[in-house]
Amino acid sequence: MSNPLNNSMDLSFPSELGYEVIARDAVSAFARRLGLSAERVEDLKTALSEACINAIEHGNSLRPDLRVFIHCHLEPDRLVIEVIDQGATEFVARDNVLSISEKIAGLGSLRGMGLMLISQLCDESSFVPGPEGNCMRLAFSR
């Protein structure tokens, strides 16, 4: 991996829960080789899993005929990971994410913690226009 042009990796998998673990293991091995600390790799594993689950469940609406694509590349001081779905459902940001106390009080779904975890675990996270669907970009400083 001495050639900077080689510091990138692409994966794709069907929209089926469980594949995010395989993607997570591959990308975390890549991140370790690029010098991320053990603690940051743990953060990456959780954030990437959540981004993949979001793409599988929401972006691709759990359709196994659609695929999730992951592109990773190294910038001078950070690792950037893009998780791209095929856009069966367009991502719409929600303003009112429920707190855990509101969830326990029965005010909404118990799910929905994934995006909050992503935003807290990455140095940068955002949705950017994707080629045919949603693209979530995650960045981790080295």
Partner 1 sequence: MMLEDELTVSTRERDGVAIIDLVGDVTTFAEEKINAAYREVTNNGARFVLLNFRQNDYINSAGIAILIGIVTEVNRNNQKLAVSGLSQHFQKIFRMVGLAQYAEIYQNEDEALVGLQKG
Contacting range for partner 1; rule: CB under 8 A; set: 2-10, 42-50, 81-89, 129-137: 42-50
In the complex with partner 1, the residue whose CB is nearer, 45 or 142, is 45
Choice between 36 and 74, CB closer to partner 1: 36
Q: Is 141 in the site for partner 1 (CB under 8 A)?
A: no
98: Cα within 13 Å, side-chain hemisphere = 13
What tokens appear for 74 in the block?
Answer: 């190294």
- For tokens 């106390």, what's the residue? 101
Radius of gyration of the chain measured on its C-alpha atoms: 15
For helices 114-121 and 38-54, give the axis angle rounded to 10 degrees.
150
101 part of the interface to partner 1, by CB under 8 A: yes
**Secondary element (H or E) of residue 49:** helix 38-54
Closest separation in Å from C-beta 103 to partner 1: 5
Q: What x/- string results for residues 48 through 87 when contact with partner 1 is judged by CB under 8 A?
A: -xx--x----------------------------------
